[in-house]
Amino acid sequence: MLTPMSIGPITSLFNFSYSPSLQYVMVGQLGTTQPNGLPLCRSASLGNIVCYSPTFIKKAYSYPSTATLDGTGQTIVLVDAFGSPTIANDLALFDAVFHIPAPPSFTIFCGDSPTPFDTSTCPTVNLGATANPKHGEFGWTIETSLDVEYAHAMAPGANIVLVVADTSSGNAINNAETAAIAAFPGAIFSQSFGIPEIFLLHNGNPGQVNQAEKNYANGVAVGDTFLASAGDTGADFGTGIAQANYPGSSSFNTGVTGTNGLPYNATGTLQPCPTSTPFSCTSGLSSYHGPCVLGRTTTPNCVADGYGGEQVWNEAQFGAATGGAQSLLFGVPSYQTGLGLSSRGPDVAYNAAINGGVLVVYSALGTPVLFIVGGTSAGSPQWAGVIALANQARANASKGPLGGNLNTDLYNIYHSARYATDFHDITVGNDQVAGSTVGFSAGTGYDVASGIGSPVVSQLVTDLAAA
């Protein structure tokens, strides 16, 4: 079934809780539901649905060959609350299913413990009926699998660090990030969570935001890069007021909005690709060729060819759409001058589709299963993988990591002749979630629904390496 994540609640006047920005659909047990029928999966609740493996995503976004760049020498830090008791096993199963080599290292860094590498200090996750609904522990465990597996898939040579905060409260996340920033200078941090700014403006503890901003400034000073998701409930998060998602709205972060395929294939209507020529088909984000058989469990089957098309992520049937609006808290940063903004706006985009989501291996409930996962949570860790490739290329050229210069470099590319080469400009769709009157449309060039667009990775990495 589709399980929407709620907006992070205010737990008191002195604290708030972040929520992960993801949506998920269970496909079935691993072993009985094989992903070889890609890009077509079957879901008990939704019927036939588009689903992607890392191979399809990497082909669509034109990632370079891992023989050229794989993130070697770089560290990606995934920040999550609660973690997952089976994440190490899930990553190993994921790698086996999708034929990805294990990362050079996988470290679990628990909170702000005096012994942060001792996994015995990690919080105990409650997945039962008595789990605290304010903290959404079950969703955080799926978020953990998504983050770790897809950051690794996009940069398989990078070291992976999972930072586990003991709760989803702002204080707990801040404390965990303070410790991780001190431990991992020059790393790429991914944050697939957030809270609508209005809660911080009216009810939250400004001290927590100030501490988070201090963390980001300290991280940037030691060469860290920060990315964060824009949220999954449209431009207003159900409040009727256009606003951004924090920490994606921080000027120290690169805010990642969501896209889905263009054309969008309504669940159950996508047909297998024909075998006669021309036999290239599209499943939205990805193009592919056959012969394809729906639900086939043995190869050969559909082969990924490249990019299909994208629009602003807005799936009315699921009641979900990307966040994307100007900030209520932060003014226009220097790198966004000249874009017609009156305050901080999001930066880039990436696939966030549910029907067109990515396959995630998950076993925290016992038997390993496959989930199709969407939401802007999917974009932040994969963009972290992109930056790991760029930093590796920079290291090969005896340059330091992009660090806090990332947004400046992205917008320099946007204002250059290389923009059309390095990005897919998203010009179709809007982020007005079903039932809301608030939203923004995509257009040529920068817009708050999709930023400057999604990456053509091989070209973008080349230019970021030269920046």
pLDDT attached to residue 277: 58
**Domain with 159 in it: what CATH number?**
3.40.50.200
Percentage of residues in the chain with pLDDT exceeding 90? 69
Return the structure tokens found at 330: 């932060």
Number of domains making up the chain: 1
Read off the pLDDT of each residue in 360-365 and give the average, rounded to a whole number.
Answer: 92
pLDDT attached to residue 433: 95
Sign of the C-alpha dihedral, residues 239, 213, 322, 129? negative
Query: Of the candidates 9, 8, 43, which has an alpha carbon nearest to the alpha carbon of residue 373?
Result: 43
Residues paired with 253 in a beta bridge = 226
pLDDT at residue 139 tops 60:
yes
E-strand ranges in 300-383 read 303-307, 310-312, 314-315, 320-321, 348-351, 357-362, 369-374
Contact partners, residue 417, CB within 8 Å, separation at least 6: none
Read off the pLDDT of each residue in 206-217 and give the average, rounded to a whole number.
Answer: 92
pLDDT at residue 297 tops 50:
no
Read off the pLDDT of each residue in 292-321 and give the average, rounded to a whole number.
Answer: 80
Angstrom CA distances, 170 to 11, 167, 203, 251, 381, stand at 10, 9, 13, 18, 20
Within 184-275, residue ranges assigned H as helices are 197-202, 206-221
DSSP 57-112: HHHHTTPPPTTT-S-TT-EEEEEEES--TTHHHHHHHHHHHHT-PPPS-EEEEETT
The pLDDT confidence band at residue 2, using thresholds 50, 70 and 90, is very low
pTM for the complete prediction?
Answer: 0.94
The mean of the pLDDT values for the chain is 88
Q: Which of 15-19, 44-48, 396-400 has the lowest mean pLDDT?
A: 44-48
Which residue bears the tokens 């691993």?
A: 30
pLDDT attached to residue 269: 67
Span 225-264, pLDDT tens digits: 999 999 999 999 999 999 999 999 999 999 999 999 998 8
Query: Of the candidates 396, 437, 438, 420, which has an alpha carbon nearest to the alpha carbon of residue 72?
Result: 396
Boundaries of domain holding 105: 3-466
pLDDT attached to residue 5: 37
Q: Which of 5-14, 99-108, 251-260 has the lowest mean pLDDT?
A: 5-14
DSSP 311-323: EE-EEGGGTEE--
pLDDT at residue 199 tops 60:
yes
Span 264-291, pLDDT tens digits: 877 666 666 666 655 677 888 998 887 6
Residues paired with 225 in a beta bridge = 188
Pairing of strands 348-351, 19-20: unpaired
Span 382-417, pLDDT tens digits: 999 999 999 999 999 999 999 999 999 999 999 999
Is 200 in contact with 245 (CB distance < 8 Å)? no
Is 60 in contact with 304 (CB distance < 8 Å)? yes
Query: Of the candidates 96, 69, 78, which has an alpha carbon nearest to the alpha carbon of residue 157?
Result: 69
Which residue bears the tokens 């999550």?
A: 80
The DSSP code for 430 is B
Q: Which of 3-17, 156-170, 399-413 has the lowest mean pLDDT?
A: 3-17
Q: How many CA atoms lie within 13 A of 91 on its CB side?
A: 27
The DSSP code for 223 is T
